[in-house]
């Protein structure tokens, strides 16, 4: 068995549009933090701490070190993640939208297929015709519950500003095509499923047509689906003959959740 990592990290050194900060406490600093936490539990102990008293001294610990601790302050849309109905709107298919902690886990471990769309330009959107042509090239017919991966190669821009501006979007005709085939989950190696903001905004200002704004996401209000954003390494996969695991981290009542997405060969 071979496992291929299809995920991007939550990286506080990479360019992001949402604030992202990781607060790191080292093993040495952990000794001090431990005492501060312990002694902050009542006012008298805190006074002793402020005077320089300590419950546990560094000499009491192996190598004079405690445990490391990292606090991550991040959007659920950083790193590889799954978007579900609540992200798209308060209602989906006429009922209250479901959140990421309600994603059926059986949808997240299924056979998968990769469709090569590396020819698509950042100004363009991936259409139903593109999906159909891509499937014909590899002689594959989508089966219900397949996880469909749309390969554009845009993950190679991760860490740069261009990652957020130079990628093709997904047209709602492509989403409908997949849903009509019985798909619950599809994934992209781009930062989003809609065209980059600069192209949507230009069209909106030129045409004064609100339908050009985030149409793929808003389509989730009409039809329920899950999509994976920020996949990576899709070039390492064959066209089909593998499974994908994309279990979401269980975070209560969010529209998206991080996932360590992998392919099983």
Final residue of a domain: which of 53, 73, 93? 73
According to DSSP, residue 123 is labeled T
Domain finish residue from 33, 49, 73: 73
Whether residues 139 and 244 fall in one domain: yes
pLDDT of residue 49: 85
pLDDT band at 262 (very low <50, low <70, confident <90, very high): very high
Position 53 scores a pLDDT of: 87
Q: Are residues 183 and 63 in the same domain?
A: no
Domain final residue, candidates 73, 97, 115: 73
- Split at pLDDT 50, 70, 90, the class of 30 is very high
What is the dihedral sign for C-alpha 69, 75, 81, 83? positive
pLDDT for residue 150: 98
- Counts of helices then strands in the chain (DSSP H, E): 7, 15
Choose the weakest-confidence range: 37-41, 128-132, 154-158, 226-230.
37-41
Q: Are residues 98 and 163 in the same domain?
A: yes
DSSP 3-state of 38: helix
Residue-range definition of the domain harbouring residue 68: 21-73
Q: What is the pLDDT of residue 13?
A: 96
Does residue 81 share a domain with residue 51? no
Residue 65 makes CB contacts below 8 A (sequence gap 6+) with: 27, 28, 30, 31, 58
**Residues 142-174: tens digit of each pLDDT:** 999 999 999 999 999 999 999 999 999 999 999
* pLDDT score of 106 more than 90: yes
Q: Can you give the length of the chain in residues? A: 265
Write the CATH number for 250. 3.50.30.50
Same domain for 251 and 173, yes or no, is yes
Share of the chain above pLDDT 90, in %: 91
**Contact (CB, 8 A) for 151 and 174:** no
82 and 34 housed in the same domain: no
CB atoms within 10 A of CB 147: 26
Considering the domain architecture, whether residues 88 and 41 belong to the same structural domain is answered as: no
CA distances from residue 207 to 92, 95, 199, 217 in whole angstroms, order as listed: 28, 32, 12, 20
Query: Could you tell me the pTM of the whole model?
Result: 0.94
Same domain, 86 and 63: no
Write the pLDDT tens digit of every residue in 44-95: 888 888 888 888 999 999 999 999 999 999 999 999 999 999 999 999 999 9
* Residue 243: alpha-carbon gap to chain centroid: 18
Domain count, the chain: 2
Helix axes 128-138, 172-180, angle to 10 degrees: 50
Residues 134 and 38 in one domain: no
Q: Are residues 59 and 156 in the same domain?
A: no
Domain shared by 46 and 8, yes or no: no
Do 226 and 174 share a domain, yes or no? yes
pLDDT bucket at 113, cuts 50 / 70 / 90:
very high
Identify the pLDDT of residue 141.
Answer: 98
């Amino acid at each position: 068995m071979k496992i291929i990592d299809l995920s991007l990290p939550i990286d506080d050194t990479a360019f992001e549009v949402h604030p992202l900060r990781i607060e790191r406490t080292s093993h040495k600093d952990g000794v001090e933090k431990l005492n501060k936490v312990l002694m902050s539990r009542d006012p008298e102990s805190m006074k002793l701490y402020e005077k320089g008293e300590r419950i546990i001294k560094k000499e009491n610990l192996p190598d004079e070190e405690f445990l490391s601790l990292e606090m991550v302050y991040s959007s659920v849309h950083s790193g590889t993640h799954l978007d579900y109905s609540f992200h798209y709107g308060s209602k989906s298919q006429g009922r209250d939208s479901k959140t990421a902690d309600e994603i059926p886990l059986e949808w997240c471990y299924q056979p998968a297929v990769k469709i090569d769309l590396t020819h698509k330009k950042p100004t363009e959107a991936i259409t139903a015709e593109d999906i159909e042509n891509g499937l014909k090239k590899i002689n594959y017919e989508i089966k219900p519950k397949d996880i469909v991966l749309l390969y554009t190669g845009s993950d190679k821009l991760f860490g740069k500003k261009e990652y957020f501006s130079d990628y093709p979007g997904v047209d709602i005709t492509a989403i409908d095509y997949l849903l009509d085939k019985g798909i619950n989950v599809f994934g992209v190696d781009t930062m989003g499923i809609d065209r980059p903001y600069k192209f949507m905004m230009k069209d909106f200002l030129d045409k004064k047509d609100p339908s050009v704004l985030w149409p793929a996401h808003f389509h989730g209000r009409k039809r329920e689906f899950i999509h994976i954003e920020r996949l990576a390494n899709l070039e390492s996969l064959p066209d089909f003959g593998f499974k994908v695991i994309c279990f979401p981290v269980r975070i209560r009542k969010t529209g998206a959740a991080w996932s360590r997405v992998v392919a099983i060969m």
